[in-house]
Amino acid sequence: MFGFLTKDMTISFRKLLAVILLFSSSFAWFFIFFTYFENLISPGLSLDSFLANAGSVIFLISCVIFAFIGGAIAEKVNLRKFLILWILFGLVVLLPLIFFRGDEFLIFFAILGGLAFGLGFTPSLAFFAESTTPDERGRVAGVMILVAFVLVVFSSVAIVALGLESITILSVFVGVKSIGFLSLLLDPVARSKNKAKPWRMIFSLKDFNYYLLALVLFYVAAGLVSLLWIALPNTPEYEAALRSANIIRYIGLGIFAILAGILADRIGRKKPIILGLIMLGAGYAIVGLMTTPETYFVNLLLSGLAWGVIMVVYLVVPADLSPPGSAERFYAIGWLLPLMIYIGLNGSGRLLGFVPPVDIFSAILSIILFTSILPILYAVETLSESKIRERRFRDYTEKVGKIIQDSKKPE
């Protein structure tokens, strides 16, 4: 059934599954934590909005900091044992909630949540990078994102269906997190013993910087966007648009993640990134020109699809560029630093209660997004020409083969 995706992959099925489950379970956990931890910590009460915003920001910052720390530790210790401890910690970290609840613990749990997600984040991506070859990497990353969002959707459905009771939410968290253990059962999850390249060297890689710059601009736009929505009128029409877009958005994000993965393996990494940035830019241009619930809906949809594309390709590029043993550092820089910018913008805007004018703001956003294409144009394609050519000819061979087969049939 998934033949179109997995054909000519060289990674074994077990390893593929291990790579996917390790990342997807943890990434899904991150999303549901981000969405629900406020309900979890002060159930029933409507949290003071300043505190809620502060909680989100602190969680994200904690994720980033512990991801750097986790990457640094994982470079030195046995990866398998490290991951086991990390998942175990993630399982128990929220259990104290049974006893301690309330606003005063929000910050404390936000930090712990960041710890539980961040530590193993770059090592699981390094495992992905070292287990895949360049011409299957896009598709594997696509499946990783898709599976993560399927888990997010299922968890959200379960949480909503079973009620926002803290025990329900807690058990969903434990369930999602423990999926990570499966990958350790499926695979030894060993790493190459190569020494990581110095940070200095990674920061001075020209092509990596081009990709990074585009992502930074993307995050600047994304950070500003989240402020934009505060400025929208608070009417039932916009609410309805948000609700219906959100469902389609996650499905679309998953589908586009797979599509982006297939494309990335077929025609290279640059074109899908450009496509994603254009989609997002177009989405804001539309809202800027005309702010209605309909354009808002279209924008939400386009941005969901664009996120799917961007996330996948940016899982792939650090793996393409990193020498063995250095993947953690490439992901720390390539994924987490830009994320800090998003957090900074979004967080400070919210905390300061900044309400921007929609039309000017969307125009700025589209300009930023279209500008972000420039560095990509300068960057080198990280999937080599010969790989692209190879695949083109492999596909072509299949086509010709089918023609020949058909021509033999009538006899």
User: Which residues are at the interface with another protein (CB under 8 A)?
Assistant: 390, 393-394, 396-405, 407-408, 411
Residue 405: CB minimum distance to another protein, A: 5
User: Which lies closer to another protein via its Cβ, residue 359 or residue 395?
Assistant: 395
Between the alpha carbon of residue 262 and those of residues 8, 134, 141, 142, the distances in Å are: 12, 12, 10, 8
User: Which lies closer to another protein via its Cβ, residue 14 or residue 402?
Assistant: 402
Residue 138: CB minimum distance to another protein, A: 18
d(CA 343, CA 89): 25
Residue 409: CB minimum distance to another protein, A: 12
User: Which lies closer to another protein via its Cβ, residue 81 or residue 394?
Assistant: 394
Residue 321: CB minimum distance to another protein, A: 24
Residues 6 or more apart whose CB falls under 8 angstroms from that of 3 comprise: none
- Residue 86 amino acid letter: W
Q: What are the two backbone dihedrals, phi and then psi, of residue 376, each rounded to the nearest 5 degrees?
A: -65, -35
User: Which lies closer to another protein via its Cβ, residue 108 or residue 396?
Assistant: 396
Residue 9: CB minimum distance to another protein, A: 13
* Contact present, 392 and 272 (Cβ < 8 Å): no
* DSSP run (H or E) holding 191: none
* Contact present, 97 and 40 (Cβ < 8 Å): yes
Q: Say whether 101 sits in a helix, a strand or coil.
A: coil
User: Which lies closer to another protein via its Cβ, residue 233 or residue 410?
Assistant: 410
User: Which lies closer to another protein via its Cβ, residue 199 or residue 396?
Assistant: 396
Closest to 378 in 3D by CA, of 220, 206, 217, 261? 206
Q: Name the one residue in this structure whose structure tokens are 């450009």.
A: 274
Cα of first residue to Cα of last residue in the chain, in angstroms, is 31
Residue 403: CB minimum distance to another protein, A: 6
